[in-house]
């Protein structure tokens, strides 16, 4: 497909697709840099090639440690029999959202395409409600008319969950961007779902608080979208997941009913915790319209240290020592291997800040007392050196050096893009096993790949496995998949640690969840959205639909 060739309407293009209008280029250019892109890409770059080599969904076996299921295609799903948008529908939308029911194809374009430019839909209308009541009216109408709806936040998702697949009505939270309350005693923030994460962070930092999550996409992503995808990010090791920090949600259900669970209580044991259903459900069970969230105090002191280890076992023992000696001030424990360092040196001309080692660690501390934090770090480093766990290292306390050290971890994916075509996997594993997958993959592939590199969040057991080749290589891909998923399933790992399933990974769910559980997910979907209008083709596998 050439840059100027039109993309087919009603046919999702999974990759290698080029922009056709300058307006889209302009729209995308204005987005903030997306750190998640440079730290952990989706498998989407590869999934478009898989269809023919896979069996159909119905032939898959039940999940179990040893009895690994056969894969199913991630190819485009069939359009479901929803209604199509008519002139009457547009008139209704324009009536309830005057000037905010967008049909101009140029304006629609950036909402039809995902941030990675890997997936696109062909929606003909983008709705921009400002209030929960408007969202309710929209969904009530769409449910009555059997119109499919694609809820959209900042459209920074990495698995094709945030754009329409066909002609779904796009329901954007962009104009629902009001901060409702902030309680400076409890640190509890309440806001509309369309607030941009970075705006919330700025609002809080002026009040000596921070958001409990931080993402590379913070300049664009919406808090509602963060909650809908159960975003992980850089602070999870320290502040835990959104399942603990989100205290309340307001959600509009598929039929327009408003579910008000927007409380601001740390403790509430009155019945089932319904909000948990919507956290991580990727807009398939309801549209989140407001969020209350518990925010931590802003740390007064931050330090970063870059270390080298001879073996991954030493790296794990360093992690253990670190948890003991840095304890409550540890806020990140990341790693990269020597192959990552080689790519950083070769492609980005980033020099290794320490001597060459098989493994590198980035440790961050955040605390309330700079002197104490530095002393703890010093003691830890002395012990780690004395025990020969680490062989070399350097510490940064000032901002510019902190950024330089972090860039060794954050720019690995950028380096990978210069190495060739990249097959990317975002895997969650028991922490002891995260590097074994890289080692086994190297052995499995022999000399077939150009590079096989591993990096990621040791503290969260989250490996980013990347495999490059000079160009797209279906043979290489067939050697990588389903090997990587089967390997993950044998260790009871997750094939999507933090990005969700969206469109691209929906059919891989059986590698990480037993059939019993997936069937129950289907029951929940049917209970909350019987017509299936909310974000169809996402999260749940095709064989449930």
Instruction: Please list every residue from 116 through 145 that binds its own copies, using CB under 8 A.
Output: none
Q: Under 8 Å CB-to-CB from 110, ≥6 apart: which residues?
A: 23, 24, 27, 28, 155
Determine the interface stretch with its own copies among 34-42, 148-156, 348-356, 368-376 (rule: CB under 8 A). 368-376
Q: Is 368 in the site for its own copies (CB under 8 A)?
A: yes
Q: How far, in whole angstroms, is CA 438 from its chain's centroid? A: 21
Q: Judged by CB under 8 A, which of 192, 496, 507, 535 binds its own copies?
A: 496
Q: Is omega for the bond preceding 482 within 30 degrees of 0, making it cis? A: yes
Segment 88 to 107, residues that bind its own copies, using CB under 8 A? none
Q: Which of 126, 127, 138, 279 binds its own copies (CB under 8 A)?
A: 279
Which of 11, 26, 56, 184 lies at the binding interface for its own copies (CB under 8 A)?
Answer: 184
What is the Rg, in whole angstroms, of the alpha carbon atoms belonging to the chain? Answer: 23
Q: Which tokens sit at 266?
A: 């740390």
Is 460 near its own copies (CB under 8 A)? yes
> 9, 91, 107, 274: which one contacts its own copies (CB under 8 A)?
274
Residue 103 neighbours by CB distance under 10 Å: 14
Among residues 106, 375, 382, 399, the one that binds its own copies under rule CB under 8 A: 375
CB nearer its own copies, residue 308 or residue 461: 461
Q: Min. distance of Cβ 68 from its own copies in angstroms?
A: 15
* Residue from 111, 137, 135 nearest 123 by CA: 111
Going by the DSSP 8-state scheme, the letter that residue 11 receives in this structure is -
295, HSE (Cβ side, Cα atoms, 13 Å): 28
SS in 3 state form for 347-398?
HHCCCCCCCCCCEEEEEEEEECCHHHHHHHHHHHHHHHHHCCCCCEEEEECC
Site for its own copies in 406-445 (CB under 8 A): 428-432
Residue 421 or 485 with smaller CB distance to its own copies: 485
In the block, tokens 């770090």 appear at 377
User: CB of 209: closest distance to its own copies in angstroms?
Assistant: 10
Q: Binding segment for its own copies among 15-23, 109-117, 129-137, 279-287 (CB under 8 A)?
A: 279-287
Q: Which of 25, 95, 372, 418 binds its own copies (CB under 8 A)?
A: 372
- Single residue of 396, 465, 521, 534 touching its own copies by CB under 8 A: 521
Q: Which of residues 280-309 bind its own copies (CB under 8 A)?
A: 280-281, 285, 297, 299-300
Q: How many CA atoms lie within 13 A of 86 on its CB side?
A: 7
Number of H-type helices and E-type strands within the chain: 20, 16
**What strands lie across the sheet with 330-337, from one edge to the other?**
392-396, 301-309, 359-367, 330-337, 451-457, 462-469, 421-428
Task: Answer yes or no: are the C-beta atoms of 169 and 127 closer than 8 Å.
Answer: yes
For its own copies, the closer CB: 386 or 471: 386
Report how many residues bind its own copies under the rule CB under 8 A: 95
Is 269 a binding residue for its own copies by CB under 8 A? The answer is yes
Closer to its own copies by Cβ: residue 93 or 425: 425
Is there binding between residue 321 and its own copies (CB under 8 A)? Answer: no
Instruction: Count Cβ neighbours within 10 Å for each residue of 272-295 and write b for 16 or more, e otherwise.
Output: eeebebbbbbbbbbbbbbbbbbbb
The total number of residues written for the chain in this structure: 545
| 494 contacts its own copies (rule: CB under 8 A) | yes
Taking the complex as a whole, the smallest distance from the CB of residue 439 to its own copies amounts, in Å, to 18
- Rounded to whole angstroms, how far apart are CA atoms 112 and 119? 8
The sign of the torsion formed by the CA atoms of 442, 445, 451, 456 equals: negative
User: What gap in Å lies between CA 474 and CA 498, rounded to an integer?
Assistant: 26
**Cβ of residue 380: shortest distance to its own copies, in angstroms?**
10
Nearest to 284 by CA among 188, 157, 181: 157
Among 95, 106, 178, 328, binds its own copies (CB under 8 A): 328
Q: Which of 512, 503, 450 is nearest to 480 (CA)?
A: 450
For its own copies, which is the closer residue by CB, 346 or 368? Answer: 368
Cβ 299 to its own copies shortest distance, Å? 7
Of 267 and 349, nearer to its own copies (C-beta) is 267
By CB under 8 A, tell whether 208 contacts its own copies: yes
Q: Which residues between 41 and 70 bind its own copies (CB under 8 A)?
A: none
Q: Which is nearer to its own copies, 176 or 316 (CB)?
A: 316
Residue 486 interacts with its own copies (CB under 8 A): yes or no: no
Q: Is 265 in the site for its own copies (CB under 8 A)?
A: yes
Q: Tell me the closest approach of the beta carbon of residue 317 to its own copies, in angstroms.
A: 8
Residue 517 beta carbon to its own copies: minimum distance, rounded to whole angstroms = 6
How far apart are alpha carbons 215 and 282 in whole angstroms? 17
For residue 447, the minimal CB distance to its own copies (Å) is 32
**Which is closer to its own copies, CB of 374 or CB of 414?**
374
């Amino acid at each position: 497909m050439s840059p100027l060739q039109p993309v087919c309407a009603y046919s999702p293009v999974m990759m290698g697709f080029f922009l056709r209008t300058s307006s889209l280029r302009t729209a995308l250019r204005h987005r903030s840099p997306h750190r998640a892109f440079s730290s952990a890409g989706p498998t989407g770059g590869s999934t478009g090639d898989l269809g023919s080599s896979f069996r159909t969904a119905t032939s898959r076996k039940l999940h179990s440690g040893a009895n690994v299921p056969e894969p199913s295609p991630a190819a485009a799903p069939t359009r479901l029999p929803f209604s199509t948008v008519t002139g009457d529908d547009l008139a209704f939308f324009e009536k309830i959202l005057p000037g905010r029911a967008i049909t101009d194809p140029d304006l629609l374009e950036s909402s039809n395409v995902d941030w990675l430019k890997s997936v696109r839909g062909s929606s003909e209308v983008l709705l921009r409600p400002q209030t929960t009541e408007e969202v309710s009216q929209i969904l009530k109408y769409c449910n009555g008319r059997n119109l499919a709806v694609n809820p959209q936040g900042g459209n920074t998702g990495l698995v094709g969950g945030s754009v329409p697949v066909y002609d779904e009505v796009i329901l954007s939270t962009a104009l629902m961007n009001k901060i409702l309350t902030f309680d400076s005693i409890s640190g509890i923030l309440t806001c509309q779902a369309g607030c941009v994460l970075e705006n919330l962070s700025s609002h809080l930092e002026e009040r000596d608080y921070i958001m409990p999550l931080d993402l590379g996409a913070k300049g664009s992503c919406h808090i509602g979208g963060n909650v809908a995808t159960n975003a992980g990010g850089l602070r999870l090791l320290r502040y835990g997941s959104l399942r603990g920090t989100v205290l309340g949600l307001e959600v509009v259900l598929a039929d327009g009913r408003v579910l008000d669970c927007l409380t601001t209580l740390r403790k509430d044991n009155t019945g089932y915790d319904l909000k948990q259903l919507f956290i991580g459900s990727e807009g398939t069970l309801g549209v989140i319209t407001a969020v209350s969230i518990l925010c931590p105090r802003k740390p007064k002191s931050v330090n970063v240290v870059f270390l080298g280890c001879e073996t991954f076992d030493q790296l794990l023992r360093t992690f253990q020592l670190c948890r003991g000696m840095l304890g409550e001030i540890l806020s990140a424990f990341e790693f990269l291997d020597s192959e990552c360092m080689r790519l950083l040196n070769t492609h980005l001309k980033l020099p290794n800040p320490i001597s060459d080692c098989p493994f590198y660690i980035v440790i961050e501390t955040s605390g309330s007392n700079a002197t104490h934090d530095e002393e703890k770090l010093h003691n830890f480093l002395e012990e780690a050196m004395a025990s020969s766990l680490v062989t070399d290292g350097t510490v940064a306390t000032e901002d510019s050096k902190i950024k330089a050290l972090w860039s060794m971890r954050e720019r690995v994916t950028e380096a990978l893009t210069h190495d060739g075509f990249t097959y990317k996997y975002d895997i969650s594993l028991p922490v002891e096993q995260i590097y074994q997958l890289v080692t086994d993959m190297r052995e499995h592939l022999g000399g077939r790949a150009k590079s096989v590199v591993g990096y990621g969040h040791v503290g969260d057991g989250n490996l980013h496995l990347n495999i490059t080749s000079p160009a797209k290589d279906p043979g290489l891909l067939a050697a990588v998949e389903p090997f990587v998923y089967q390997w993950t399933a044998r260790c009871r790992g997750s094939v999507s640690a933090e990005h969700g399933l969206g469109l691209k990974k929906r059919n891989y769910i059986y590698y990480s969840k037993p059939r019993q559980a997936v069937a129950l997910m289907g029951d929940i979907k049917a209970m909350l959205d019987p017509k299936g209008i909310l974000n169809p083709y996402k999260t749940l596998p095709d064989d449930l639909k």
